Amino acid sequence: MIDVEFSIARQQFIQEVRQPESEIDLARAALLIAQEAYPILDIDLCLDELQGIADEIRPKLPTERYPLKVLQVINGVLFDELGFRGNEDDYYDADNSYLNAVLERRLGIPITLSLVYLEVAARLDFPMVGVGLPGHFVVRPDIDDCEIFVDGFHGGDILFPEDCKALLSGIYGKPMALEPEFLRPVSPKQFLMRMLANLKGIYLSKKDISEALSIVNRMLILFPDNIQQTRDRGLLHYQAGNLKPARWDLEQYLTLSPKAEDRDLIRRLLTRMEDA
């Protein structure tokens, strides 16, 4: 078996995400991810801050809770008064992916600013859901057939489907069709997986193998059967010189994915480890 660093934060993360998805506290789970980078992080204090933002917004809400009017009020407080904004100057700063740092600096990336929005809205009894567009992340009211989206990275811009299509076309530099699956709500585990994927990419780009390995371990807590992450964990263990767990993961990968395109490369790597 693979040895995993079972810090208190890691144990609590496991307990949180192994509940039924409807019971996962998304903000707490995100803060437990952050607590491994910030060991003295006070999670309850961060949750209190989210509640405080909601308390500031509540008296400003319209009597008739029409979605567009509610969103305009939330936007006015979050982005105009409190100054939350997308970190366009340093998009790949890891702190953009840690909820505590986003709350402190008022800076984030689309998914973490969306998380703030979701959590504040939930505390206002105005439930919303996350929507994982390719290359971007937005939120919308949790109302059937609602086609109003909020882009937290761009100051709370209100988007409609055609706007989302234009946004994607701008990101990819070519005309993009707005496929129905692009607009489906993401589950709590999928949300956390996407946050962790961002952090994994950041630490890999910095060649920080230890942090990348820690992130992949948590990705596999969320989705233990994800063979691509099992392979990547094996490769990270190999780079870190942890040959026994590397071999275990890579053998598992070949067993579960015997026709993988990179199977010959992985076999050569396993042979190299046997000769070491």
* pLDDT beyond 50 at 4: no
Distance, in Å, from the CA atom of 174 to the CA atom of 26, rounded to the nearest integer, reads 34
What is the pLDDT confidence band of residue 177, given thresholds at 50, 70 and 90?
Answer: confident
Range of the domain at 235: 225-275
Percent of the chain surpassing pLDDT 70: 97
Q: 141 and 12: one domain? A: yes
Q: 56 and 162: one domain? A: yes
Residue 208 included in any domain: no
Q: 102 and 166: one domain? A: yes
Answer yes or no: are the C-beta atoms of 181 and 131 closer than 8 Å: no
Q: What pTM, to 2 d.p., does this model score? A: 0.94
Residue 247 included in any domain: yes
**Which residue is it, tokens 């810090």?**
7
* pLDDT beyond 90 at 196: yes
**Which residue is it, tokens 């026709």?**
259
* pLDDT beyond 60 at 146: yes
For the chain, the domain total comes to 2
* pLDDT beyond 90 at 78: yes
What is the pLDDT confidence band of residue 22, given thresholds at 50, 70 and 90?
Answer: very high
For position 276, what pLDDT does the model report?
66
| Length of the chain as a residue count | 276
Which of 164, 183, 202 is the C-terminal boundary of a domain?
183
Residue 32 included in any domain: yes
> Facing residues of 7 across strands?
none
Q: 22 and 128: one domain? A: yes
Residue 209 included in any domain: no
Answer yes or no: are the C-beta atoms of 228 and 202 closer than 8 Å: no
Average pLDDT over residues 11-16: 96
Q: 42 and 173: one domain? A: yes
> Facing residues of 256 across strands?
none
Least confident of 118-132, 164-178, 227-241: 164-178
Q: 135 and 269: one domain? A: no
Q: 16 and 118: one domain? A: yes
Q: 252 and 157: one domain? A: no
Backbone angles phi, psi at 271, to 5 degrees: -65, -40
Provide the CA 266 distance to its chain's centre, in angstroms.
Answer: 29
Residue 191 included in any domain: no
For position 145, what pLDDT does the model report?
84
Q: 159 and 236: one domain? A: no
Long-range contacts of range 252-258, CB-CB < 8 Å, 24 or more positions apart?
A: 252/227, 253/227, 256/227, 256/230, 257/227, 257/231
Q: 241 and 159: one domain? A: no
What is the pLDDT confidence band of residue 6, given thresholds at 50, 70 and 90?
Answer: low
- Spell out the alpha helix ranges (H) of the chain: 8-17, 26-37, 43-57, 67-75, 99-105, 110-123, 161-172, 188-205, 209-222, 227-240, 243-256, 263-275
Q: 114 and 251: one domain? A: no
Mean pLDDT of the chain: 94
Residue 190 included in any domain: no
